[in-house]
Amino acid sequence: MNLDKSTKRIAKRVKKGFQGYPQISLTYFGESINCASQVVISFIQEEGAPVQEQTFSSKGDARRDETIQTTLLKIIERAEAKTVIEAAGVSLKS
């Protein structure tokens, strides 16, 4: 799957807002606000359930990495996530 298709499908899921559980959250991290070298995907099966996290790293910008974006979309689809939340911008690594 190409990068544009993956990012558009993720964005479409994010725009829907809260639809219930399971819920997936995407948070991007980087050395600067212009380049996200890491993405953390958090999964919550139901309200009050423990959060499961997985991290993906990229040498470049993870938001422009076709492999990472396609993988995120596949995780969202396989988890049958009703809600997808994406943190705005890039959080700086400490």
For the segment 35-62, the average pLDDT, to the nearest whole number, is 95
What's the chain's average pLDDT? 93
Which CATH number goes with the domain that contains 61? 3.30.720
Sheet holding 83-92, edge to edge: 52-57, 38-44, 23-30, 83-92
Q: Give the domain extent around 85.
A: 3-92
Split into its structural domains, the chain has a count of 1
For residue 94, what pLDDT is reported?
Answer: 61
* Sign, Cα dihedral of 9, 12, 35, 54: negative
Is the pLDDT score of 26 beyond 80? yes
- Residue 3 — very low, low, confident or very high, per pLDDT cuts 50/70/90? confident
- Contact predicate 57/36, CB 8 Å: no
